[in-house]
Structure 1
Amino acid sequence: MNTKEFRTFGMPWEKAYGYVQSVKSGNTVWISGQLGHDMQGNLAEGMEDQFRQTYQNIGKLLSEFGLHAGHVTEEVIYVTDMQEGFESRKVFGKEFYGEACMVASTIVGVTELALPGQKVEIKVTAKV
């Protein structure tokens, strides 16, 4: 029987929107779109700081399943400014994944995201 494991951050929008931060089923972990907020829900300022915090949040969720960035197989990035987002991804993607940065990645420009001032959201899939 395949069971699911869940992880949350306890953010108010999890219950309001009705979702969890991550789900593990079998040997796959899906991490919901992560934002650049701290554990009190405060959004970082600017694209670069939001990218940094977003990857930190992804790392925290991965570690709760005993995983790390090397287990990520795919990421989808949503940004409100494509040029600024692309440049930030080049820097913080290497910081998170390492120089080899071996992950399938898609970046999409959008007009807005869930929270006022939010500039980036990243969802990932990882394999155990």
Structure 2
Amino acid sequence: MRDVIFPNDKQANYEAYGYSAAVRSGGFLFISGQVGVDASGSAIKDPAAQFQLAFINLGGVLEAAGCGFNDIVDVTTFHVDMYEHFDAFASAKQRVFPNPPFPNWTAIGVVCLADPDLLLEIKAIAKLTSFT
């Protein structure tokens, strides 16, 4: 059985592109890639602010599912210009994962993302403490 999750203020964006923000199945939450866009869907130009907003958007999906960052067990990040922006990314990541135990993490360098101004996409899996 599976159940889809959408943050209240973003569902139209997911429907426009034909995917779910997250799918709850088998005690896990599989979260689609989250990026640093504002409410209008525009990418934030400043890399540090974009990375922080990507984590905020990830937090919104987690909250809609009734869980939080401490429930994340696996993270995959996709980076444009990884070496140029890595310190800013690491700072944003440390704000949401300040202490061990840290989730599993894989970082992948990519040529580009869906919007030419996007520098980061975050995909995650969370373990739900209670599920239906």
Structures share fold, TM-score greater than 0.5? yes
Tell me which stretches of 4 or more aligned residues in structure 1 moved more than 2 Å: 14-17
In the TM superposition, 1:61-72 aligns within 5 A as: 61-72=61-72
SS of residue matched to 1:38:
coil
TM-score between both structures, scaled by the size of structure 1: 0.88
Alpha-carbon offset, residue 88 of structure 1: 2.3
Structure 2 residue 57 is matched with structure 1 residue 18: no
Alpha-carbon offset, residue 23 of structure 1: 1.1
1:107 & 1:26 partners in 2: Cα distance? 26
> Sequence identity, in percent?
28
Give the residue type in structure 1 aligned to 2:76: V
Kindly report the root-mean-square deviation, in angstroms, between the aligned alpha carbons of the 2 structures: 1.6
Residue deviations 1:64-105, cap 9 Å, x none? 111110000011111111113421232111101223361111
Unaligned 5+ segments in structure 1 are none
> Does the Cα contact within 8 Å between 1:44 and 1:50 map onto a contact in 2?
yes
1:101 & 1:55 partners in 2: Cα distance? 18
Structure 2 residue 54 is matched with structure 1 residue 59: no
TM-score between both structures, scaled by the size of structure 2: 0.86
> Does the Cα contact within 8 Å between 1:75 and 1:123 map onto a contact in 2?
yes
Structure 1 residues 21 and 3: CA distance shift in structure 2, 3 A: closer
In the TM superposition, 1:1-128 aligns within 5 A as: 2-8=1-7, 9-12=10-13, 14-100=14-100, 102-128=102-128
Unaligned 5+ segments in structure 2 are none
